[in-house]
Amino acid sequence: MGFLLRSSSWPVDWPLAAIVVIAMLYLVGGRMSATQSDAGKRWRGAAFYGGLAILALAVGSPIDAYSGELFWVHMVQHVLLMMVAPPLLLLGRPWPRLSRPLPLGLRRPLARSVLAGPTLGPVRGASRWLAAPLASFTLFNGTLLLWHVPALYDLTLRDGPVHDLEHALFFGTALLFWVHLLPGASGRPQLADGARAVYGIAALLVSWILAIVLGLAQEPLYSAYASLAQRPGGLSALGDQQLAAGVMWVPGSVPYCIVLAVVALRWLDPAAGAGRRRKLAGEH
């Protein structure tokens, strides 16, 4: 466990600084809210701060420091960036709280420019298309599969900026995807509970396909890992790859299964789901 105590295993870089700034904005925005604190608000805050903690763990801890030496650690990082941090952050409903601390003189012109200004009209159109359920699903799952193509994956391990781009796309497309899967994450959901269940199951199957390909391969698929002379723990390259498949198969499935269970309960009990939606509407 000595590697956990090395200072190089806990890199302090701009992503951690950005996470701290976002946490402070969310805290101040919550205190400036006109509504009193209640169980729902506290729960949303806990989810958001939990998401930030997971994000910090993914990008600024031994997970990031050892992702280039152990494939299974790298897969843990990808699961945190795509399947754990994004849904927690979205459950915190961050957008109003993050914008509230900004000066009113800045917020209003910025909101007018983004929401109605003619200059950003094409950007808004493209954003609406990208944020639609089918496009979000395709981008999220396509990004997951594409970056695990051996040639691209090996490139990320050799080139720092490409690696950063990979992680940015993982996280950004995950936000687009999870906003449609999570009940209550969007003020105007575009999917009914039945469609949401199909949406989540289809994504779960995509991740399982990736896990099966990695787990059943008879030889290491990624030369960047296969060429290492040794690995922490003495793992073979193939054993490391099989562990990575297990991470995607089991821990990577847990967030999907939790959300799908909630969606199934809402779908089977529409009256309870409607009651929850009225309560959420009243909170706004």
Listed ranges 25-34, 228-237, 241-250, 263-272; the one with the highest mean pLDDT: 241-250
Do the beta carbons of residue 178 and residue 86 sit within 8 Å?
yes
Terminal Cα-to-Cα distance of the chain (whole angstroms) = 47
What pLDDT shows up at residue 105?
Answer: 65
Instruction: Give the three-state DSSP class for 34.
Output: coil
Quote the DSSP letter at residue 101: T
Q: Is the pLDDT of residue 153 over 80?
A: yes
Q: What is the mean pLDDT of residues 39-53?
A: 91
Is the backbone of residue 233 left (phi > 0), alpha (psi -120 to 50) or beta?
Answer: left
What pLDDT shows up at residue 129?
Answer: 80
Q: Is the pLDDT of residue 284 over 70?
A: no
Average pLDDT for the chain:
84
The more confidently predicted of residues 89 and 111 is 89
Per-residue pLDDT of 119-146, as tens digits, reads 656 665 677 788 899 999 999 999 999 9
Which amino acid does the sequence have at 225?
Y
Per-residue pLDDT of 96-121, as tens digits, reads 788 887 776 666 666 665 555 666 56
25, 14, 98: which is closest to 56 by C-alpha? 14
Q: Is the pLDDT of residue 73 over 90?
A: yes
Give the burial class of 168: count Cβ atoms within 10 A of its Cβ; 0-12 exposed, 13-18 middle, 19 or more buried. Answer: exposed
Do the beta carbons of residue 59 and residue 16 sit within 8 Å?
yes
What b/e string do you get for 138-156 counting C-beta neighbours within 10 Å, with b at 16 or more? ebbbebbeebbeeeebbeb
- Which ranges in the chain belong to alpha helices (H)? 2-5, 14-31, 39-59, 62-65, 71-79, 85-91, 94-99, 104-115, 121-130, 133-146, 150-158, 160-181, 193-216, 223-226, 237-249, 254-268, 270-283
Per-residue pLDDT of 196-255, as tens digits, reads 999 999 999 999 999 999 999 999 999 999 999 888 888 999 999 999 999 999 999 999
d(CA 278, CA 157): 48
What pLDDT shows up at residue 242?
Answer: 97
